Structure 1
Amino acid sequence: MRSDYANSKPRQPRKRGANSKSKATAAPRRPVSPIKFVVGLAVLVGFIYALWFLKHDGTDAASGNEPQAVTTKAAAPATTNPKDTLPPKPKEEWTYQKELENKQVEVDVPAQSNQPSRPYQMQCGSFRKESQAQEMKAVIAFQGIEAQVRKVGGNNGDWFKVILGPYDAKRQAERDRHTLQRVGLNGCMIWLWTN
């Protein structure tokens, strides 16, 4: 038999009868039997005693005596064989400290002949207009470094280069380049000095 769900009537909830409520509320409580009470009390007392025993590590509270630790004496060897005895511990002596105090280090320094005899220069810019080169020279002068503007003729016309130097060592030129990099002049190049 097939029924149409849409046309079916909703089910009415079942009403619980008076018998189910009365049975739940009317069930009498049984008293705890004395045997179960005594057994439960004995288990509780035994558990408390076990905890107390563990806490006091087996000490007797009534007499105040602690159990004596059993000590056994190590059996002394009956005969000492010279092969079985160990020699005395050697004293450690460190000699490297004394050796380092008197040690002299020799360093081979290459001769200065490798370096070129010409000094170094640093070029920070090359401009078509002299006014732009003079502006860069002024910025460099504010950093406490002296610069010069050179006019150089080329195939495309005249150029104005901002040159620093001469420097006896490349390290001096590097120091000035780092000073200029801190203020935003990053295009400086270091070369050998040219007239």
Structure 2
Amino acid sequence: MDYANRKRPPQRKPRSANKGKKQAPQRQVPWGIVVLAIILVIALIAGLRFIAGGNPEAPLQSTQDVPASTPEMQAEPMPEKPEERWQYIEELENLEVEVDVPERELGPPKLMQCGSFRQRADAERLKAAIAMQGLESEIYPSNGGTWYRVVLGPYETKRAAEADRHTLQRASIHGCQIWNWNL
């Protein structure tokens, strides 16, 4: 359908029940709302002046009315600032702090497994990628020689294992898991 060349429908004349009477007068201005709006504006202005601390009845003082200071009005100079004395420095110089640090319990050694493969060639490929990052890994056959695990470690702490895992993640070697294993 062509909307651009479409003809407009013919205009209907409004039906009027009162054909001979005058039309309804225009709507009158709601004076109650106008008066309420004026009162609210005046209240807002008065509230702002009250918040600002200004007194609308008080005349503004000019800066020219302030007399210049006379010698009688000048006060004596302030005394010098006393030197502060810190007592805690002298008190803490000779004190020692004793802290009881319990021995860290080392759990079982941690091993990090980075892959488990059916083909030894796949395990060798991962071992070579790990070696390129400067880490040493071992391939352990498991399940009767049908699976080959690529394992790093043993680590004494989990923190050391996490550090190596982050090194491997930066080299896009993901999926390494840290376990409490003994071989």
TM-score by length of 2: 0.52
The question of 1:95 aligning with 2:87 is answered yes
Question: Secondary structure, in 3 states, of the residue corresponding to 1:111?
Answer: coil
Q: Distance in 1 between matches of 2:179 and 2:99?
A: 30
Distance apart, 1:171 and its partner CA:
2.1
Distance apart, 1:190 and its partner CA:
1.1
Q: Specify which structure has the bigger relative contact order, considering alpha-carbon pairs within 8 angstroms and separated by 6 or more residues.
A: 2
Change (3 A) 1:126 1:92: same
Change (3 A) 1:119 1:72: closer
Q: Identity over the aligned pairs, expressed in percent?
A: 52
Distance apart, 1:153 and its partner CA:
0.7
The question of 1:111 aligning with 2:110 is answered no
The alignment yields a C-alpha RMSD, in angstroms, of 2.8
Name the aligned partner's letter for residue 106 of structure 2: Q
Question: Secondary structure, in 3 states, of the residue corresponding to 1:126?
Answer: strand
Distance apart, 1:129 and its partner CA:
1.5
Distance apart, 1:91 and its partner CA:
6.0
Name the structure 2 match of 1:170: 158
Change (3 A) 1:73 1:191: same
The CA deviation string for residues 123-165 of structure 1, in whole angstroms up to 9 with x for no partner, is 01111211111100000011111111111117xx822110011
Name the structure 2 match of 1:137: 127
Question: Secondary structure, in 3 states, of the residue corresponding to 1:136?
Answer: helix
Q: Distance in 1 between matches of 2:123 and 2:149?
A: 7
Matches within 5 A, 1:184-195: 184-195=172-183
Name the aligned partner's letter for residue 117 of structure 2: F
Distance apart, 1:170 and its partner CA:
2.1
Q: Tell me, yes or no, if the aligned pair for 2:112 and 2:177 is still in contact at 8 Å.
A: yes
Q: Distance in 2 between matches of 1:95 and 1:103?
A: 13
TM-score by length of 1: 0.49
The question of 1:71 aligning with 2:88 is answered no
Name the aligned partner's letter for residue 115 of structure 1: L
The question of 1:158 aligning with 2:158 is answered no
The structure with the largest alpha-carbon Rg is 1
Gaps of 5+ in 1: 1-56, 58-68, 75-88
Q: Distance in 2 between matches of 1:166 and 1:131?
A: 23
Greater shift after overlay, 169-178 or 158-167? 169-178
Distance apart, 1:98 and its partner CA:
2.0
Gaps of 5+ in 2: 1-63, 74-80
Name the structure 2 match of 1:25: none
